[in-house]
């Protein structure tokens, strides 16, 4: 007990010291954008990605490698949020705020183009959880109906269904996968077999934040569509990372958060609902401005009353920043970083164990080392080395485009030292 107390005291001292060191780093002026962001001439040139990192306010003594949870926004997004908040502090008149209606329409246009769907099929939410719950609570499922879930779903796409089922009387059926599926074909077959004549909805996370497995969504959605079964995809870990088009994916609805891989303004998300399905969804919040017409997703599902307009005002800048680099370039870079991270951990730390096999993972790396618990590694990575990670029964690292290969090496060396 005494050893645990001493360890905690040491951790807190280091955490406070690390925080003080972070605060001691001079703040970068928000108006400063080092270089214009353009597509890379050579995506393997590390200097390009070092330039991308300079578009963010993280000080050099910190490594943010937790994109699966929260990403910092780049300067252009921060500038719009800050300026808009300042302007609202001076003028909250209806006349001044009229411009936000125009900005929202621009945001919807950019989001729909980014996702490859119609503008009327996209709704701006506050996060993935809100989008998931709009779907969960919007359909009139009844006793005798069945909703099929993956056991690795996020609570907002798992417990939310169970709670709704208690009220309406439909059945929740769960599908689990082997810890190490042999192939994506095995996953497809398990989902296929689990669908029955009673199944009305298949809802699953595109990528699990717990085991990093990528679900073959296109194939599963195609099987469900052929049987007249709805599909909802939780895209929290694929939105902003994968170069995908939702029409090609074939789902009936898809939710995502802008504050993760898209590196967008905080408290903003997206919900796509296929136009043919939209009329079947009931809105969850009705407030001033609600039109009562279910032909367009955003006015039908996204009117939630007063909100902080400074954050959604930066959605156009967020999309423009992402597209300036290129969707495929982003996905390729993130996959490359994770492959390099796994390879270097294997080389540097004998006995390292990865949660999921590499062919079925993409943008998240979960692992355990032989000599330390994941909680100790997680705590010390930040307290001793300024590295943000996550602890989920394994250490979770999720690098993205503002991370460099030098930071990958820095993380590997830190884990090796902690492991001893």
C-alpha separations of 370 from 204, 210, 270, 275, 411 in Å? 32, 20, 40, 51, 17
Model pLDDT, residue 32:
60
Dist CA 253 CA 133 (whole Å): 12
Dist CA 14 CA 27 (whole Å): 22
Residue-wise DSSP of 185-251: HHHHHHHHHH--TTEEEEEEESB-TTT-PBP-HHHHHHHHHHTT-EEEEE-TTTTTTS---HHHHT-
> What are the start and end residues of each CATH 3.90.1150.10 domain in the chain?
2-72+327-419
Model pLDDT, residue 16:
42
Q: How many residues does the chain have?
A: 420
**Is the Cβ–Cβ distance between 128 and 235 less than 8 Å?**
yes
Q: What is the CATH number of domain 2-72+327-419?
A: 3.90.1150.10
Dist CA 297 CA 112 (whole Å): 11
CATH of 86-322, one of 3.30.70.2190, 3.40.50.1370, 3.40.640.10, 3.40.718.10: 3.40.640.10
Model pLDDT, residue 6:
47
Model pLDDT, residue 209:
92
- CA-nearest of 337, 402, 382 to 61 is 382
Dist CA 213 CA 229 (whole Å): 23
SS3 208: coil
**Is the Cβ–Cβ distance between 386 and 22 less than 8 Å?**
yes
Dist CA 118 CA 121 (whole Å): 5
Dist CA 155 CA 133 (whole Å): 10
The pLDDT profile of the chain, 420 residues, written as one tens digit per residue, is 444 444 444 544 444 444 444 434 434 444 466 688 999 999 999 999 999 999 999 999 999 999 999 999 999 999 999 999 999 999 999 999 999 999 999 999 999 999 999 999 999 999 999 999 999 999 999 999 999 999 999 999 999 999 999 999 999 999 999 988 989 999 999 999 999 999 999 999 999 999 999 999 999 999 999 999 999 999 999 999 999 999 999 999 999 999 999 999 999 999 999 999 999 999 998 888 787 778 899 999 988 888 889 999 999 999 999 999 999 999 999 999 999 999 999 999 999 999 998 889 999 999 999 999 999 999 999 999 999 999 999 999 999 999 999 999 999 999 999 999
Model pLDDT, residue 10:
53
For tokens 């796509």, the residue is 272
> What are the start and end residues of each CATH 3.40.640.10 domain in the chain?
86-322
What is the pTM assigned to this prediction?
0.91
């Amino acid at each position: 007990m005494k050893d645990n107390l001493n360890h905690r005291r040491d951790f807190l001292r280091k955490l406070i010291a690390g925080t003080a060191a972070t605060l001691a780093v001079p703040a970068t002026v928000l108006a400063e954008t080092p270089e214009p962001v353009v597509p890379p001439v050579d995506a393997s040139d590390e200097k390009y990605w070092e330039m991308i990192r300079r578009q963010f306010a993280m000080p050099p003594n910190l490594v943010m490698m937790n994109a699966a949870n929260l990403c910092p926004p780049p300067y252009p997004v921060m500038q719009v949020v800050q300026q808009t908040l300042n302007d609202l502090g001076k003028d909250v008149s209806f006349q001044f705020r009229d411009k936000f209606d125009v900005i929202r329409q621009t945001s919807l246009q950019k989001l729909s183009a980014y996702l490859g769907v119609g503008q009327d099929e996209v709704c701006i939410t506050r996060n993935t959880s809100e989008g998931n719950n709009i779907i969960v609570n919007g359909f009139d499922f009844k006793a005798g109906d069945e909703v099929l879930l993956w056991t690795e779903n996020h609570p907002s796409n798992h417990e939310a269904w169970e709670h709704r089922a208690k009220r309406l009387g439909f059945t929740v059926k769960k599908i689990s996968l082997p810890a190490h599926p042999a192939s994506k074909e095995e996953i497809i077959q398990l989902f296929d077999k689990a669908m029955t004549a009673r199944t009305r909805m298949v809802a699953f996370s595109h990528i699990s934040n717990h085991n990093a497995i990528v679900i073959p969504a296109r194939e599963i959605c195609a099987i469900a569509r052929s049987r007249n079964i709805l599909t909802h995809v939780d895209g929290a870990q694929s939105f902003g990372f994968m170069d995908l088009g939702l029409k090609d994916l074939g789902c009936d609805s898809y939710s995502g958060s802008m504050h993760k891989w898209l590196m967008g303004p905080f408290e903003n998300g997206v919900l796509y609902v296929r136009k043919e399905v939209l009329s079947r969804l009931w809105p969850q919040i009705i407030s001033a401005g609600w039109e009562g017409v279910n032909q367009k997703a955003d006015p039908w599902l996204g009117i939630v009353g007063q909100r902080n307009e400074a954050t959604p005002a930066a959605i156009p800048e967020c999309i423009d920043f992402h597209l300036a680099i290129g969707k495929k370039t982003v996905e390729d870079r993130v996959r490359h970083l994770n492959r390099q991270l796994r390879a270097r951990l294997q080389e540097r730390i004998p006995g390292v164990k990865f949660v999921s096999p590499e062919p079925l993972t993409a943008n998240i790396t979960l692992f355990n080392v032989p000599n330390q618990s994941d909680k100790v590694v997680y705590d010390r990575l930040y307290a001793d080395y300024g590295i943000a990670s996550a602890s989920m029964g394994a250490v979770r690292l999720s690098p993205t485009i503002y991370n460099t290969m030098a930071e990958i090496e820095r993380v590997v060396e830190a884990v090796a030292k902690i492991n001893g």
